[in-house]
Amino acid sequence: MATGMDTESIVKSLMDAERIPLMKMEREKQTLEWKQDDYREMNIKLKNLFDSADPLRLEGTFKVSAPPTDLEVDGIIAKIKKFVDTYNEVTVSINGKINEDRYADYQPLTNDQRDAMSDKQAERWDAKARSGMLKNDSMLRGILTEMRSELSIPLAGATNTNFDTLSEIGISVKGSYQENGKLTLDESKLCAAIKSNPAEVKELFTKAGTTTDGTGIAKRVLDTLGDCEFPFRAGHPACPSVHASENKGRLHAKERIRL
């Protein structure tokens, strides 16, 4: 016959065993929420990039007098600079997320575990546990790779082949490993290109085409961003299988974030 102590031990073991699925569910739920937060953050940054690229697809953006006035040239440069700066911010953010350290030993805290810690202890634990939610994320890596490629492909059918790449108007991809594909802008070179060949600069950004290489730079970027789709729904390979009612987040062209 089991003693009172044995009975208590057995009951505790049974209760602990029953709590394991609940603890697992709590952790999966928290992991999903953190991952959703990171995807939402990236969605907003990509929407900002979309907004900065959108004016550059319009021929009216590049409308100038003959010869172009300083005010007109400065206005075009300001829009291009905004795109370059926003692109670089997105590049830094994506690289930061896909290369962020993941600490496998730090699982999300259960409610009981959190209650047993001080606020500072829980905060430090959370920082480790939520790190690397998007490490090596194939979707983010694919977006970055595709955009880098699109920005470097010469414009097929350009009126003037001396202005069929961004580098020829002063926008180049930084090649060092530390720069991770950020863009550099030579404003003097861009200014000279706009003043001397405004039609060619306009064509480089706005040309309509049926193929990627035959399409202007701005439209290429917009097409890629318009197709971005992040996994906010349970059942997606990137998310734990909890919260089946969660919506799927999609970045639509000309549509504001609704998350």
pTM for the model stands at: 0.80
The answer to the question of residue 214 being in a domain is yes
DSSP letter at 230?
E
Q: Which two tokens stand for residue 189?
A: 């070179």
* Residues 227-237 as b or e (16 or more Cβ within 10 Å = b): ebebbbbbeee
The answer to the question of residue 249 being in a domain is no
Mean predicted confidence (pLDDT) in 222-233? 71
Task: With cut-offs at 50, 70 and 90, classify the pLDDT of residue 235.
Answer: very low
Best CA proximity match to 136, nearest among 145, 148, 149, 147: 145
The answer to the question of residue 253 being in a domain is no
pLDDT at 254 over 50: no
pLDDT at 226 over 80: yes
Best CA proximity match to 214, nearest among 166, 160, 164, 162: 164
Helices (H) and strands (E) in the chain, counts: 8, 4
The answer to the question of residue 154 being in a domain is yes
* Residues 17-54 as b or e (16 or more Cβ within 10 Å = b): eeeeeebeebbbebbbbbbbebbeebbebbbbbbebbb
The answer to the question of residue 239 being in a domain is no
The answer to the question of residue 90 being in a domain is yes
Mean predicted confidence (pLDDT) in 129-158? 94
Best CA proximity match to 252, nearest among 230, 235, 220: 230
How many domains are there within the chain? 1
Domain that holds residue 62: 22-228
Backbone angles phi, psi at 249, to 5 degrees: -90, 135
The answer to the question of residue 191 being in a domain is yes
pLDDT at 36 over 80: yes
The answer to the question of residue 66 being in a domain is yes
